[in-house]
Structure 1
């Protein structure tokens, strides 16, 4: 039986019985997993991988939600203000981003003679270039201007880009661990691990000639590695274009930008100094390194999203 079927059965029971029926409590979302389930803090207890109805959309940590109690609890919906205003802002943002790919011309005609009607101006030379977003721009040079030029459109920043790692891995004792996801800490007493994500020259190439306004990176906490509760990532920079055959050397860090429970996904905003180092190529990628069982965890992901101002 699906979640919606269970929910419908509960509602039907509530309508038929004066006592009992559907009982809900409030809880706080602590993490959202890559599977679409959520981790909750409910009545002082931590619950993991709680399923959600379709009514609970745009899930994020910090949400207060209504939960149907039972042997298998289910998140029913978000509590609080109507999210329509936030959804509208996001819709506008997406539309503006999509509009950067459009080139608007009110009319485009041609013929063998001069155009009919007033207001036409003859172009003596036509100039073109790319703008910051890589789109074509035209400028018409006139022998004499019979009308004022339209205002030039506002300069658009280059489009946001997302860069996936070319490779990733884990190291212990100065040697790579074949097939392992990036990990930190030490669960078995055999030595602390460090992990890395590698991008070649993709980051600096994407940032060449542009001004970076923001750089974020997305990770998911791997299941079956360490405790279920939140573990803070100990993030570093590194200067390797690809996985080294020996030790993974660490750069600036650590920065504790993200704390995730098992299966949870999250996004961290990199400090200004880090994004500048990655954009210039003085750093090449990201690494993690922790000590002991309390910092032991493994992570996947590593996609970088770069937002530009100019």
Structure 2
């Protein structure tokens, strides 16, 4: 028997002794707030699976290698080289960093003319602020060394807006038994509705800018309702702070995001909603559902506003 054949036989023997195949592929359907994942493995849904540091940029839809056992662990993602996938994001980050950095190499002064070659005397200096940054223009008598061009004005940076408060309502008044926004009814005590409040922060962040997109991040609490993926029923509301009576909701429902127990996710708001929030004709977001089917407790609510 050859060396290769003997090696194959030895590996088969060890694999059988260990109880069969120990690493299997699985598909992630949600990533949780704590960094674990919910996945489908061997035809079953498994929740809260830990991951090694090698599995980065986790997202729903990833096909991963999982070490089976009493405590399964995700080892790595299967598929394309991450370098190819992440190239565009890396380049965008580098460009933004360059725009944020000071473009003047050195700023010095003195009572005599500067030493070295290439200096030009300026008869006047002009300054202005564009996109929150200072532009400086030097008027010279003879531009013997042509001036570099003025870079185009970059679009404003994305802005994150966090909620000032979040609450739940039941029976027409604030619910003292829910610490986070909740939708639906699990116990028969009445349907809950939850909301996130931002004061006037959203409209203030959008003033004088053109909104290209708004997204919102939510996390579903584990231990509240069924474990399987269920949709959030999203609405708008007009409050800058929690009302003492019933929370009135409008412009919904929109089912923009479904989450399993413990999972986090990001939804893109409809353009009409983004326009309403940017103008101040709407002030915040709410959730509401009827009955047990879509019951869940939700945290998060951080808005990301992207400008054009």
- Normalising to structure 1: TM-score of the pair? 0.88
Tell me how far 1:275 sits from its aligned partner: 1.2
Partner residue, 2:234: 235
Q: CA RMSD in A?
A: 2.2
For residue 254 of structure 2, give the secondary structure of its aligned residue in structure 1: coil
Is 1:292 aligned with 2:291?
A: yes
Instruction: Please say if 1:163 is aligned against 2:161.
Output: yes
Q: Deviations over 1:136-168 (max 9, x none)?
A: 112234466556442111211222221110000
- Using the TM superposition, name which of 98-107 and 24-33 deviates more: 98-107
2:14 to 17, 31, 42: 17
Runs (4+) of structure 1 exceeding 6 A deviation are: 13-16
Give structure 2 stretches of 5+ with no counterpart: 1-9
What's the secondary structure of 1:295's corresponding residue?
A: coil
Q: Give the drift of 1:271.
A: 1.5
> Corresponding residue for 1:176?
174
Partner residue in 1 for 2:152: 154
Question: Within 2, Cα distance between the matches of 1:282 and 1:256?
Answer: 21
Residues in 2 aligned to 1:66 and 1:14: alpha-carbon distance in whole angstroms:
19
Three-state SS of the structure 1 residue aligned to 2:136 is strand
Count of residue pairs the alignment pairs up: 296
Contact 1:235 1:253 in 2 (8 A): yes
Structure 1, unmatched stretches of 5+, are: 1-12
Aligned to 2:204: 205
Aligned to 1:157, the other structure's residue is in SS state: coil
Give TM-score, length-normalised by structure 2: 0.88
Contact 1:14–1:20 (8 Å) recurs in 2: no
* 1:8-40 deviation digits (Å, cap 9, x = unpaired): xxxxx9699363445222111011111221111
Give the Cα separation in 2 of the matches to 1:113 and 1:283.
Answer: 60
State the distance in 2 between where 1:252 and 1:262 align: 26
1:277 equivalent to 2:282? Answer no
How far 1:257 moved relative to its partner? 0.8
Compare 28-37 and 175-184 and name the one that shifted more.
175-184
Cα 1:20–1:164 shift into 2, 3 Å: same
1-structure distance, mates of 2:148, 2:70: 67
Partner SS state of residue 264, structure 2: strand
2:32 is the alignment partner of 1:53: no
Alignment CA distance shift 1:24-1:208 (3 Å): same
The answer as to 2:84 corresponding to 1:85 is: yes
Bigger CA drift: 26-35 or 63-72? 63-72
